[in-house]
């Protein structure tokens, strides 16, 4: 009986958040272990279906790096990375687009629909949803010398987001599932980091929340304890002190940019936890790190 009562208490705890988020948009970057483990994949689908049924508008942007690597390996193509980004020549871009749009995206859509949801798959090319330009990064050579421009190929950065197609899908109660492929001014494809695409879409929609699913618990302090909340003004100090390092730096910067552009809150959440999204948004404590203004 106590277990049943505890379930009822959980629902009551979630009720104020359900009221608050009804009619709001939440953009979710779906990636990491949550995209690989079969049980977590099913839980993710059920989570977003539940959100849609109680009046929240989930928008999903997915990654797919491991799946791309697997396909390239079968083709005996060696991937190379510079500053954490895949060098993407024309042939690699064809594979990236085929795997992200033709395989991974459709698998996610199919999983949501199989569990009773209504999902539609898109890439940034559809309806000019995500316009992009070639990303330029530079390498410092020697002191007092101009930096060297590094050519990443068809790696892009977002220049514009056209949300008309998302608004149309939302009006018909569909869940958009977006592959992070952008379109250039001449119709060329660009491979874009999924976090950046999710952040740009959340910013354009003025989403209530941006959630980045990762394979870590969130931001931790020097003692290894989870930091449940960080203000944007604290981030530079945490980076300088070495509390935020490595791959967490671009994630918190993505969150900071989204919050600065009008997103209510951004969250970095451990996607390895069952029902991670629901635990983060429908409980008082949450399970990850929120980034606030």
Per-residue pLDDT tens digits for 259-280:
999 999 999 999 999 999 999 9
Q: Which tokens is 181 given?
A: 């492929």
Pairing of strands 57-62, 175-179: parallel
DSSP 28-55: EEE-GGGGTSHHHHHHHHHHHHHHHHTT
Mean pLDDT of 28-42: 91
Number of residues assigned to the chain: 293
In whole angstroms, give the CA distance from residue 67 to residue 224: 31
CA 217 to chain centre: 15
**3-class DSSP assignment, residue 212:** strand
Domains of the chain and CATH, by start: 10-292 (3.40.1160.10)
Residue 80 CB: number of other CB atoms within 10 A? 12
**Coil, strand, or helix at residue 78?**
coil
> What's the angle, vertex CA 199, arms to CA 194 and CA 202, rounded to 5?
125
Answer yes or no: is pLDDT of 150 > 90.
Answer: no
**Average pLDDT taken over every residue of the chain:** 91
- Report field, pTM of the whole predicted structure over 0.85: yes
The candidate with the shortest Cα–Cα distance to 13, out of 285, 287, 283, 286, is: 283
**Residue holding tokens 């599932």?**
177
**CB distance 213 to 194 below 8 Å:** no
- Predicted confidence at residue 111, as pLDDT, reads 96
Neighbours of 118 (CB within 10 A): 14
Q: Return the residue matching tokens 């394979």.
A: 215
Q: What is the pLDDT of residues 81-133, one digit of tens each?
A: 887 788 898 889 999 999 999 999 999 999 999 999 999 999 999 999 999 99
Q: Which residues, at least 6 apart from 15, have a Cβ–Cβ distance to it below 8 Å?
A: none
Longest Cα–Cα distance of the chain, Å, equals: 72
What is the rounded CA–CA span in Å between residue 14 and residue 20? 10
């Amino acid at each position: 009986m106590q277990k049943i009562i505890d379930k009822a208490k959980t629902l009551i705890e979630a009720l104020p958040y359900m009221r608050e988020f009804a009619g709001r948009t939440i953009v979710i970057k779906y990636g990491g272990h949550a995209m690989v483990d079969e049980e977590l994949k099913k839980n993710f689908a059920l989570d977003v279906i539940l959100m849609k049924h109680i009046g929240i508008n989930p928008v999903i942007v997915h990654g797919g790096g491991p799946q791309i690597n697997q396909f390239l390996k079968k083709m005996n193509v060696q991937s190379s990375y510079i500053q954490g980004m895949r060098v993407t020549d024309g042939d690699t871009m064809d594979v990236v687009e085929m795997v992200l749009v033709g395989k991974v995206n459709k698998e996610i859509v199919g999983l949501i629909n199989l569990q009773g949801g209504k999902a539609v798959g898109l890439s940034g090319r559809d309806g000019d949803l995500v316009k992009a330009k070639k990303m330029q990064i530079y390498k410092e050579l020697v002191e007092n010398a101009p930096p060297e421009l590094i050519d990443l190929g068809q790696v892009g950065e977002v220049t514009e987001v056209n949300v008309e197609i998302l608004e149309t899908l939302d009006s018909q109660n569909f869940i958009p599932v977006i592959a992070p492929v952008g379109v250039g001014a001449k119709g060329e494809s660009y491979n874009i980091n999924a976090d950046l695409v999710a952040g740009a879409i959340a910013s354009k929609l003025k989403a209530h929340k941006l959630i980045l699913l990762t394979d870590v618990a969130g931001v931790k302090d020097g003692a290894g304890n989870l930091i449940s909340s960080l203000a944007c003004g604290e981030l530079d100090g945490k980076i300088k002190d070495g509390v935020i390092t490595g791959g967490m730096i671009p994630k918190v910067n993505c969150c900071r940019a989204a919050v600065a552009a009008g997103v209510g809150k951004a969250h970095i959440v451990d996607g390895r936890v069952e029902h991670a999204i629901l635990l983060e948004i429908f409980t008082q404590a949450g399970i990850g790190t929120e980034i606030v203004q």
